[in-house]
Protein backbone atom coordinates (compact mmCIF):
# COMPACT_ATOMS: atom_id res chain seq x y z
CA UNK A 1 0.00 0.00 0.00
CA UNK A 2 1.34 3.44 -0.91
CA UNK A 3 2.01 5.69 2.09
CA UNK A 4 1.52 9.39 1.51
CA UNK A 5 4.24 11.74 2.73
CA UNK A 6 5.04 15.44 2.84
CA UNK A 7 7.25 16.24 -0.13
CA UNK A 8 8.76 19.19 1.67
CA UNK A 9 9.65 22.69 0.64
CA UNK A 10 10.40 22.25 -3.04
CA UNK A 11 8.11 24.98 -4.40
CA UNK A 12 8.44 28.74 -4.14
CA UNK A 13 8.06 30.79 -2.08
CA UNK A 14 8.59 28.10 0.57
CA UNK A 15 11.91 26.80 -0.85
CA UNK A 16 13.34 30.30 -0.49
CA UNK A 17 11.77 30.82 2.93
CA UNK A 18 13.33 27.70 4.45
CA UNK A 19 16.69 28.55 2.87
CA UNK A 20 16.62 32.01 4.46
CA UNK A 21 15.62 31.16 8.04
CA UNK A 22 16.93 33.38 10.85
CA UNK A 23 19.73 31.78 12.86
CA UNK A 24 21.39 32.40 16.22
CA UNK A 25 22.08 36.07 15.49
CA UNK A 26 18.28 36.60 15.67
CA UNK A 27 17.30 33.77 18.05
CA UNK A 28 19.91 33.82 20.88
CA UNK A 29 20.84 30.40 22.25
CA UNK A 30 20.34 31.69 25.82
CA UNK A 31 16.59 31.84 25.12
CA UNK A 32 16.05 29.34 22.29
CA UNK A 33 17.16 25.77 21.67
CA UNK A 34 18.78 26.71 18.36
CA UNK A 35 20.91 23.55 18.53
CA UNK A 36 17.87 21.51 17.40
CA UNK A 37 17.29 23.63 14.31
CA UNK A 38 14.24 25.54 13.13
CA UNK A 39 10.90 23.76 12.58
CA UNK A 40 8.68 25.51 10.08
CA UNK A 41 5.16 24.21 9.57
CA UNK A 42 2.78 21.25 9.24
CA UNK A 43 0.00 20.73 6.73
CA UNK A 44 -0.97 21.98 3.32
CA UNK A 45 1.14 24.58 1.52
CA UNK A 46 -0.48 23.96 -1.87
CA UNK A 47 -3.28 26.49 -1.53
CA UNK A 48 -5.83 23.98 -0.21
CA UNK A 49 -5.65 24.96 3.49
CA UNK A 50 -8.87 26.52 4.85
CA UNK A 51 -7.72 27.11 8.43
CA UNK A 52 -4.41 28.59 9.58
CA UNK A 53 -3.39 27.78 13.15
CA UNK A 54 -0.55 29.64 14.85
CA UNK A 55 1.06 27.78 17.77
CA UNK A 56 3.84 28.92 20.06
CA UNK A 57 7.14 27.05 19.65
CA UNK A 58 8.28 23.54 18.76
CA UNK A 59 9.01 21.07 21.57
CA UNK A 60 10.81 17.73 21.60
CA UNK A 61 8.43 15.80 19.31
CA UNK A 62 8.60 18.55 16.72
CA UNK A 63 12.43 18.55 16.85
CA UNK A 64 12.38 14.88 15.84
CA UNK A 65 9.50 14.89 13.32
CA UNK A 66 10.62 18.21 11.75
CA UNK A 67 7.02 19.45 11.63
CA UNK A 68 5.19 21.66 14.15
CA UNK A 69 2.42 20.59 16.52
CA UNK A 70 2.82 16.82 16.36
CA UNK A 71 2.91 15.96 20.10
CA UNK A 72 0.05 16.28 22.61
CA UNK A 73 -0.65 19.89 21.62
CA UNK A 74 -0.74 18.89 17.96
CA UNK A 75 -3.15 16.02 18.46
CA UNK A 76 -5.48 18.23 20.51
CA UNK A 77 -5.32 20.86 17.74
CA UNK A 78 -6.10 18.17 15.17
CA UNK A 79 -9.21 17.33 17.22
CA UNK A 80 -10.31 20.98 17.25
CA UNK A 81 -10.02 21.07 13.46
CA UNK A 82 -12.07 17.89 13.23
CA UNK A 83 -14.91 19.63 15.10
CA UNK A 84 -14.63 22.42 12.51
CA UNK A 85 -15.14 19.67 9.86
CA UNK A 86 -11.57 20.18 8.67
CA UNK A 87 -9.74 16.87 8.38
CA UNK A 88 -6.91 17.82 6.03
CA UNK A 89 -7.31 21.40 4.77
CA UNK A 90 -5.22 23.11 7.43
CA UNK A 91 -1.80 24.59 7.92
CA UNK A 92 0.07 25.18 11.19
CA UNK A 93 2.96 27.51 11.88
CA UNK A 94 4.48 28.60 15.19
CA UNK A 95 5.19 32.03 16.62
CA UNK A 96 8.84 30.99 17.06
CA UNK A 97 10.93 28.76 14.79
CA UNK A 98 12.94 27.35 17.69
CA UNK A 99 11.94 25.89 21.03
CA UNK A 100 11.87 28.53 23.78
CA UNK A 101 14.43 27.79 26.52
CA UNK A 102 13.87 28.86 30.11
CA UNK A 103 11.45 31.30 31.68
CA UNK A 104 10.37 34.41 29.87
CA UNK A 105 12.27 33.81 26.61
CA UNK A 106 9.07 34.03 24.59
CA UNK A 107 8.00 37.35 26.14
CA UNK A 108 11.51 38.78 25.77
CA UNK A 109 11.55 38.15 22.02
CA UNK A 110 7.93 38.51 20.94
CA UNK A 111 8.55 42.12 19.81
CA UNK A 112 11.75 41.27 17.92
CA UNK A 113 11.43 42.86 14.48
CA UNK A 114 13.51 40.26 12.60
CA UNK A 115 11.56 37.36 14.14
CA UNK A 116 8.25 39.03 13.26
CA UNK A 117 9.38 39.96 9.74
CA UNK A 118 10.32 36.36 8.92
CA UNK A 119 7.09 34.99 10.44
CA UNK A 120 5.12 37.56 8.45
CA UNK A 121 6.74 36.30 5.25
CA UNK A 122 5.34 32.86 6.06
CA UNK A 123 1.90 34.27 6.81
CA UNK A 124 1.92 36.29 3.59
CA UNK A 125 2.96 33.21 1.57
CA UNK A 126 0.16 31.11 3.12
CA UNK A 127 -2.53 33.78 2.70
CA UNK A 128 -1.50 34.67 -0.84
CA UNK A 129 -3.29 31.65 -2.30
CA UNK A 130 -6.58 33.01 -0.95
CA UNK A 131 -7.83 29.69 0.44
CA UNK A 132 -7.70 30.47 4.19
CA UNK A 133 -11.16 31.09 5.68
CA UNK A 134 -10.30 31.32 9.39
CA UNK A 135 -7.29 31.83 11.64
CA UNK A 136 -6.69 30.55 15.18
CA UNK A 137 -3.91 31.64 17.55
CA UNK A 138 -3.09 29.32 20.44
CA UNK A 139 -1.97 31.34 23.44
CA UNK A 140 -1.02 34.95 24.07
CA UNK A 141 2.24 34.99 22.13
CA UNK A 142 0.57 33.58 19.02
CA UNK A 143 -2.17 36.19 19.39
CA UNK A 144 0.51 38.90 19.46
CA UNK A 145 2.06 37.31 16.36
CA UNK A 146 -1.25 37.58 14.49
CA UNK A 147 -1.82 41.19 15.69
CA UNK A 148 1.71 41.96 14.50
CA UNK A 149 0.84 40.59 11.08
CA UNK A 150 -2.36 42.65 10.96
CA UNK A 151 -0.38 45.80 11.76
CA UNK A 152 2.22 45.09 9.06
CA UNK A 153 2.16 46.78 5.69
CA UNK A 154 1.97 43.35 3.98
CA UNK A 155 -1.41 42.66 5.62
CA UNK A 156 -2.96 45.70 3.96
CA UNK A 157 -3.40 43.81 0.69
CA UNK A 158 -5.37 40.96 2.31
CA UNK A 159 -9.07 40.86 3.11
CA UNK A 160 -9.82 40.59 6.87
CA UNK A 161 -10.23 37.00 8.07
CA UNK A 162 -12.33 35.58 10.90
CA UNK A 163 -9.94 35.08 13.82
CA UNK A 164 -10.02 33.60 17.33
CA UNK A 165 -7.42 33.73 20.06
CA UNK A 166 -7.85 30.42 21.92
CA UNK A 167 -6.20 28.91 24.97
CA UNK A 168 -3.03 26.94 24.15
CA UNK A 169 -3.75 23.18 23.98
CA UNK A 170 -1.24 22.24 26.71
CA UNK A 171 -2.03 25.15 29.04
CA UNK A 172 -3.65 22.68 31.51
CA UNK A 173 -0.36 20.79 31.85
CA UNK A 174 1.75 23.94 32.13
CA UNK A 175 -0.52 25.72 34.62
CA UNK A 176 -1.68 22.96 37.01
CA UNK A 177 0.20 21.46 39.94
CA UNK A 178 -2.16 18.63 40.84
CA UNK A 179 -4.25 16.23 38.78
CA UNK A 180 -7.47 17.87 40.04
CA UNK A 181 -6.18 21.29 38.97
CA UNK A 182 -5.24 19.86 35.58
CA UNK A 183 -8.72 18.40 35.07
CA UNK A 184 -10.34 21.71 36.01
CA UNK A 185 -8.02 23.49 33.59
CA UNK A 186 -8.95 21.07 30.79
CA UNK A 187 -12.64 21.86 31.41
CA UNK A 188 -11.87 25.59 31.23
CA UNK A 189 -9.83 25.12 28.06
CA UNK A 190 -12.66 23.21 26.41
CA UNK A 191 -15.19 25.93 27.34
CA UNK A 192 -12.89 28.42 25.61
CA UNK A 193 -12.52 26.14 22.58
CA UNK A 194 -16.30 25.70 22.41
CA UNK A 195 -16.65 29.49 22.15
CA UNK A 196 -14.14 29.37 19.31
CA UNK A 197 -16.02 26.56 17.56
CA UNK A 198 -19.31 28.48 17.80
CA UNK A 199 -17.65 31.50 16.19
CA UNK A 200 -15.63 29.76 13.49
CA UNK A 201 -17.68 26.77 12.33
CA UNK A 202 -20.23 28.97 10.51
CA UNK A 203 -17.51 30.85 8.60
CA UNK A 204 -15.89 27.76 7.06
CA UNK A 205 -17.40 27.75 3.59
CA UNK A 206 -15.64 24.66 2.27
CA UNK A 207 -15.28 22.06 5.03
CA UNK A 208 -13.66 18.69 4.25
CA UNK A 209 -16.63 16.77 5.64
CA UNK A 210 -20.28 17.59 6.25
CA UNK A 211 -21.70 17.69 9.77
CA UNK A 212 -23.31 19.86 12.41
CA UNK A 213 -21.20 21.39 15.16
CA UNK A 214 -20.60 19.07 18.10
CA UNK A 215 -19.18 20.82 21.14
CA UNK A 216 -16.64 19.40 23.60
CA UNK A 217 -17.72 18.02 26.94
CA UNK A 218 -15.77 18.66 30.13
CA UNK A 219 -12.78 16.45 29.24
CA UNK A 220 -11.01 15.19 26.13
CA UNK A 221 -12.34 11.84 24.89
CA UNK A 222 -10.34 9.46 22.63
CA UNK A 223 -11.98 10.80 19.44
CA UNK A 224 -10.58 14.25 20.31
CA UNK A 225 -7.03 13.12 19.55
CA UNK A 226 -7.14 12.10 15.87
CA UNK A 227 -4.06 10.68 14.19
CA UNK A 228 -1.85 13.07 12.29
CA UNK A 229 -2.04 12.52 8.53
CA UNK A 230 0.86 10.62 6.92
CA UNK A 231 1.30 13.38 4.35
CA UNK A 232 1.88 15.89 7.15
CA UNK A 233 5.25 14.28 7.93
CA UNK A 234 8.45 13.70 5.99
CA UNK A 235 8.80 10.31 4.25
CA UNK A 236 9.66 7.22 6.26
CA UNK A 237 8.63 8.37 9.75
CA UNK A 238 7.09 5.42 11.60
CA UNK A 239 3.29 5.37 11.89
CA UNK A 240 3.40 5.52 15.72
CA UNK A 241 4.77 9.06 15.50
CA UNK A 242 1.37 10.03 14.08
CA UNK A 243 -0.87 7.88 16.23
CA UNK A 244 0.74 8.05 19.69
CA UNK A 245 0.95 11.11 21.90
CA UNK A 246 4.04 11.07 24.05
CA UNK A 247 7.07 9.32 22.55
CA UNK A 248 9.86 11.84 23.14
CA UNK A 249 11.27 13.35 26.34
CA UNK A 250 14.10 15.64 27.28
CA UNK A 251 16.37 13.78 29.72
CA UNK A 252 19.56 14.66 31.55
CA UNK A 253 21.15 14.95 34.99
CA UNK A 254 22.27 18.52 34.38
CA UNK A 255 20.57 21.41 32.57
CA UNK A 256 23.11 21.16 29.76
CA UNK A 257 22.74 17.39 29.44
CA UNK A 258 18.95 17.79 29.33
CA UNK A 259 19.25 20.43 26.66
CA UNK A 260 21.48 18.13 24.61
CA UNK A 261 19.32 15.01 24.91
CA UNK A 262 15.96 13.93 23.55
CA UNK A 263 15.03 10.33 24.27
CA UNK A 264 12.66 8.77 21.73
CA UNK A 265 10.88 5.60 22.85
CA UNK A 266 8.90 3.29 20.57
CA UNK A 267 5.52 3.10 22.37
CA UNK A 268 4.35 -0.04 24.13
CA UNK A 269 2.26 -2.27 21.88
CA UNK A 270 4.21 -1.47 18.71
CA UNK A 271 6.54 -4.43 19.27
CA UNK A 272 5.34 -7.87 20.41
CA UNK A 273 6.01 -8.50 24.14
Q: Which one of residues 58, 79, 172, 196 is an interface residue with ligand URA (CB under 6 A)?
A: 58
105-164: contacts with ligand URA (CB under 6 A): 138
- Is 27 a binder of ligand URA (CB under 6 A)? no
Give least dist CB 59 to ligand URA, A: 5
- Is 56 a binder of ligand URA (CB under 6 A)? yes
- Is 94 a binder of ligand URA (CB under 6 A)? yes
Give residue 240's Cα distance to chain centre: 19
- Cα dihedral value 81, 82, 87, 90, nearest 10: 0
Output 62 or 224, the one with its CB closest to ligand URA. Answer: 62
* Cβ–Cβ under 8 Å, residues 39 and 8: no
- Is 38 a binder of ligand URA (CB under 6 A)? no
Preceding peptide of 112 cis, ω within 30° = no
From the list 195, 196, 192, 172, the residue with the least C-alpha distance to 184 is 172
Separation between Cα atoms, residue 189 and residue 170, nearest integer Å: 9
Four-residue CA torsion sign, 130, 133, 138, 139: positive
- Is 59 a binder of ligand URA (CB under 6 A)? yes
Output 55 or 79, the one with its CB closest to ligand URA. Answer: 55
Separation between Cα atoms, residue 27 and residue 114, nearest integer Å: 9
Task: Please identify, among the stretches 19-27, 57-65, 111-119, 121-129, the one whose residues bind ligand URA according to the rule CB under 6 A.
Answer: 57-65
Output 56 or 89, the one with its CB closest to ligand URA. Answer: 56
> How many residues of this chain bind ligand URA (CB under 6 A)?
12
Beta bridge partners of 11: none
Residues in touch with ligand URA (CB under 6 A):
55-59, 62, 68-69, 71, 73, 94, 138
Amino acid sequence: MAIAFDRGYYKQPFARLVAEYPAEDVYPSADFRVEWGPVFHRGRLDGSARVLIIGQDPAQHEAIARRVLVGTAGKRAQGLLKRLSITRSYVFINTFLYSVYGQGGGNRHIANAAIAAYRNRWIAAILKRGSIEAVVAFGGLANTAWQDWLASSAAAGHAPLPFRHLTHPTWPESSARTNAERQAAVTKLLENWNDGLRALKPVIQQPDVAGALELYGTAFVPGDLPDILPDDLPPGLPAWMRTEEGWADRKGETLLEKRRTIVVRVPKGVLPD
